[in-house]
């Protein structure tokens, strides 16, 4: 068998499609899986069940060695595996310190794609518009596993950043995602620790993140939405302007923002400006979440830049969350109740959009939610991804479910909290969030904001007001013709239905017992007769026993029905 059959797929072999990318062939996918398996064996990661994810101090050296092996294997694998490792490095809520520390050292830079391939992709994607670039730096400013960024100048002198997908990356990502999901599923079935921290669910979540990272059309839409919100709010955080006519599914052309990422500043020891800048980012994120309903969902240290004037800027908009009007209103209600420390109103806001499967469980749910808010979201608490998982589990336990967009919002906040905790360790994130949220809520009480809210409400009510005369005419007509009907749904609450059903059941049982008692009395007063297989007295005794059983059953049912 030819050794070339199992050669790992090369990026240069994946860029042949003219208008898109061909998926990897069966042989290429098998070769990729063989490559990953070989890397895992070479770096001491097999068998997977021997990997140590415990917190036992006695095995810290073992965890450090295994974590180093995983980092090296991911770096050699490249493709989606580097990005997945970087995402996993933020999960200090489920991984021991040794694993998080080592994964955080994953290379942020990889070897750039050959210049000829980048030029070919630009020509294919932009066509004649390629001539709009007066200059284009062949050497990228940054080269990551999915894309690389080049500095360029437009024909009018504007300096821009051009983000170009690595040729062949989509096909390789699809293959890598399939391999990761299969490995995570295998580990979940066979390894207890993998089941405990939800390896398969995490893999599915990161798979979607990876797909979003490679969807430049989605990223362009996300960027424009955030930029428009920032302009309307006169936000202090910079959002780069996009050039739609020079952007495609594989090329993004944006305003160039000079500066250093939080990651680079920390590495260089320049921490003086970081805390103030991150406080501004926190305020901006909360505004995006609570007011706008469009928020950056991946604010790790590499996605926040501080320019020479100390102004923070956001980059990389592949992961952006959105909340509809109802969810945004719920978030505002939750924020107000949380600021006031009113756990009752927190529960009211949650139940308004996430009703329980069984209303009788509401008292228990309220107690559990109050305990969660007090202990997991109290002053000085850490909001990690595990916190979001706990909140989701709480609702699931009571037969409800957090909306996926709301979970995404919580997850985004947890990622930002992790950035704040590592880059500005002295910052009280919960306290700062309370202050920022309070300022945001109060800002909505200003005359201009109130006028805007009233205007939007009036605009929303206008279609209903326009239909009101027709509806009134219909009601009056039906009333005059005697055809007006009113539908009332009785006993919509399950608790009411159970009460009524219980009353009917007990009344029926008592009536049955009474009938049996009357029949028993009749049997006792009848004179004995010959030829029957059962004497009246025996029948009376049997009927009396039946009557007594009915009365006892009704009494026990009534006692049980009094329990909450």
Distance CA 482, CA 306 (A): 73
Which residues belong to the active site?
A: 298
- Say yes or no to pLDDT of 548 above 70: yes
How high does pLDDT run on average in the chain?
A: 82
How much is the CA Rg of the chain, to the nearest whole Å?
33
pLDDT in tens, 368-390: 999 998 888 877 778 887 788 88
Residue whose C-alpha is closest to residue 12's, from 182, 166, 145, 210: 166
Number of neighbouring beta carbons within 10 Å of residue 547: 20
What pLDDT does 335 receive? 84
DSSP-based three-state secondary structure for 331: helix
Q: Which CATH architecture has domain 114-165+215-228+240-256?
A: 2-Layer Sandwich (3.30)
pLDDT, average across residues 261-278:
82
Distance CA 74, CA 106 (A): 8
Residue whose C-alpha is closest to residue 286's, from 340, 335, 218: 335
Query: 465 falls in which pLDDT band (50, 70, 90)?
Result: low
What pLDDT does 242 receive? 95
What pLDDT does 552 receive? 79
Query: 79 falls in which pLDDT band (50, 70, 90)?
Result: confident
CA 26 to chain centre: 33
Asked if residue 131 lies in contact with residue 124, where contact means CB atoms within 8 angstroms, the answer is no
- Say yes or no to pLDDT of 503 above 70: yes
CA 195 to chain centre: 20
Instruction: Output the six-digit token pair for 482.
Output: 């005697």
Instruction: Output the six-digit token pair for 191.
Output: 């390894």
Task: Output the pTM of the full model.
Answer: 0.69
- Say yes or no to pLDDT of 267 above 60: yes
DSSP-based three-state secondary structure for 402: coil
The phi-psi region of residue 491 (left if phi > 0; otherwise alpha if psi is between -120 and 50; otherwise beta) is left
Residue whose C-alpha is closest to residue 9's, from 19, 26, 17, 1: 26
* Between 173 and 512, residue with greater pLDDT: 173
- Say yes or no to pLDDT of 223 above 70: yes
User: What are the beta bridge partners of residue 296?
Assistant: 320
Instruction: Output the six-digit token pair for 121.
Output: 């992709």
Distance CA 47, CA 195 (A): 16
What is the percent of the chain with per-residue pLDDT over 90, rounded to a whole number?
33
Residue whose C-alpha is closest to residue 210's, from 246, 180, 237, 240: 180
CA 501 to chain centre: 41
Residue 430, Cβ density class (10 Å: 0-12 exposed, 13-18 middle, ≥19 buried): middle
Instruction: Output the six-digit token pair for 281.
Output: 């980012």
Distance CA 133, CA 137 (A): 10
Q: Which of 50-64, 259-273, 493-507 has the lowest mean pLDDT?
A: 493-507
Query: 15 falls in which pLDDT band (50, 70, 90)?
Result: very low
What pLDDT does 148 receive? 93
Helices marked H in 1-129 — which ranges? Answer: 26-42, 60-77, 80-88, 97-103, 115-126
- Say yes or no to pLDDT of 309 above 50: yes
**Whole-Å CA distances, 351 to 72, 324, 355, 359, 400:** 47, 17, 5, 10, 9
What pLDDT does 283 receive? 94
DSSP-based three-state secondary structure for 427: coil
What pLDDT does 532 receive? 56
- Say yes or no to pLDDT of 6 above 60: no
What pLDDT does 140 receive? 95
Instruction: Output the six-digit token pair for 218.
Output: 């989605």
Instruction: Output the six-digit token pair for 366.
Output: 């309220």
* Between 230 and 450, residue with greater pLDDT: 230
* Between 445 and 308, residue with greater pLDDT: 308
Distance CA 14, CA 26 (A): 14
Instruction: Output the six-digit token pair for 81.
Output: 């595996």
Instruction: Output the six-digit token pair for 550.
Output: 């009915």
Query: 497 falls in which pLDDT band (50, 70, 90)?
Result: low
pLDDT, average across residues 181-192:
87
Distance CA 87, CA 389 (A): 17
- Say yes or no to pLDDT of 498 above 60: yes
Beta strands in 270-366, from DSSP E residues, in sequence order:
294-296, 304-306, 312-314, 320-322
Domains of the chain by residue range? 3-107+171-212, 114-165+215-228+240-256, 260-445, 494-561
What pLDDT does 212 receive? 86
DSSP-based three-state secondary structure for 266: helix
Asked if residue 239 lies in contact with residue 226, where contact means CB atoms within 8 angstroms, the answer is yes
- Say yes or no to pLDDT of 114 above 80: yes
What pLDDT does 468 receive? 64
Q: Kindly report the backbone phi and psi dihedral angles of residue 128, in degrees, each rounded to the nearest multiple of 5, phi listed first.
A: -65, -25
Distance CA 415, CA 205 (A): 14
The phi-psi region of residue 370 (left if phi > 0; otherwise alpha if psi is between -120 and 50; otherwise beta) is alpha
- Angle of CA points 467, 471, 473, to nearest 5°: 120
- Say yes or no to pLDDT of 527 above 80: no
pLDDT in tens, 82-93: 888 887 887 777
Asked if residue 343 lies in contact with residue 369, where contact means CB atoms within 8 angstroms, the answer is yes
Sign, CA torsion 76/82/84/85: positive
pLDDT, average across residues 476-502:
65
* Between 130 and 202, residue with greater pLDDT: 130
pLDDT, average across residues 269-278:
82
What pLDDT does 127 receive? 93
Q: Which helix (H) or strand (E) holds 128?
A: none
The phi-psi region of residue 79 (left if phi > 0; otherwise alpha if psi is between -120 and 50; otherwise beta) is left
């Amino acid at each position: 068998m030819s050794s070339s059959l199992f050669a790992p797929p090369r990026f240069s072999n994946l860029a042949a499609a003219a208008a898109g990318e061909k998926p990897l062939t069966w042989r290429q996918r098998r070769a990729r899986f063989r490559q990953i398996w070989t890397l895992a064996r070479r770096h001491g990661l097999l068998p997977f069940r021997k990997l140590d994810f415990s917190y036992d101090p006695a095995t810290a050296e073992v965890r450090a060695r295994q974590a180093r092996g995983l980092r090296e294997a991911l770096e050699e694998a490249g493709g989606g595996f580097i990005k997945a490792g970087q995402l996993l490095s933020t999960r200090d809520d489920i991984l021991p310190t040794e694993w998080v520390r080592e994964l955080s050292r994953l290379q942020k830079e990889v070897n750039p794609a050959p210049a000829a391939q980048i030029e070919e992709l630009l020509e294919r994607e932009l066509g004649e518009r390629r001539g709009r670039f007066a200059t284009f730096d062949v050497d990228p400013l940054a080269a990551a596993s999915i894309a690389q960024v080049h500095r360029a100048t437009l024909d009018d002198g504007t300096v821009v950043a051009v983000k170009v997908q690595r040729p062949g990356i989509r096909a390789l990502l699809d293959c890598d995602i399939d391999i990761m999901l299969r490995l995570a599923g295998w580990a979940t079935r066979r390894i207890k620790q993998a089941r405990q921290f939800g390896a398969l669910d995490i893999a599915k979540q990161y798979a979607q993140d990876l797909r979003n990272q490679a969807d430049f059309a989605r990223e362009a839409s996300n960027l424009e939405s955030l930029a428009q919100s920032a302009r309307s709010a006169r936000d202090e955080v910079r959002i780069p302007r996009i050039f739609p006519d020079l952007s495609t599914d594989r090329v993004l052309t944006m305003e160039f923002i000079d500066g250093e990422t939080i990651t680079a500043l920390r590495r260089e020891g320049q921490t003086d400006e970081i805390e103030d800048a991150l406080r501004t980012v926190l305020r901006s994120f909360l505004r995006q979440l609570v007011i706008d309903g469009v928020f950056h969902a991946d604010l790790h240290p590499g996605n926040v830049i501080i320019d020479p004037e100390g102004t923070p800027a956001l980059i990389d908009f592949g992961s952006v969350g959105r909340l509809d009007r109802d969810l945004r209103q719920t978030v505002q209600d939750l924020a107000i109740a949380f600021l006031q420390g009113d756990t009752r109103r927190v529960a009211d806001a949650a139940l308004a959009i996430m009703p329980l499967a069984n209303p009788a469980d509401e008292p228990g749910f309220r107690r559990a939610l109050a305990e969660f808010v007090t202990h997991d979201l109290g002053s000085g608490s850490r909001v990690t991804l595990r916190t979001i998982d706990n909140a989701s589990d709480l609702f699931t336990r009571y037969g409800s479910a957090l909306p996926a967009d709301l979970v995404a919002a919580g997850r985004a906040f947890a990622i930002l909290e992790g950035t704040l905790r590592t880059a500005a360790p002295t910052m009280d994130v919960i306290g700062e969030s309370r202050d920022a949220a309070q300022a945001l809520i109060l800002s909505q009480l200003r005359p201009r904001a109130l006028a805007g809210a009233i205007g939007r409400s009036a605009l929303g009510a206008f279609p209903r007001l326009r239909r009101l005369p027709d509806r009134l005419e219909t009601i009056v007509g039906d009333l005059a013709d005697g055809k007006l009907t009113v539908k009332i749904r009785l006993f919509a609450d399950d608790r009411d239905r159970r009460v009524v059903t219980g009353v009917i059941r007990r009344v029926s049982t008592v009536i049955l017992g009474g009938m049996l008692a009357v029949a028993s009395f009749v049997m006792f007063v009848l004179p004995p007769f010959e030829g029957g297989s059962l004497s009246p007295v025996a029948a009376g005794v049997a009927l009396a026993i039946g009557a007594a059983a009915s009365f006892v059953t009704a009494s026990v049912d009534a006692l049980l029905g009094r329990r909450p």
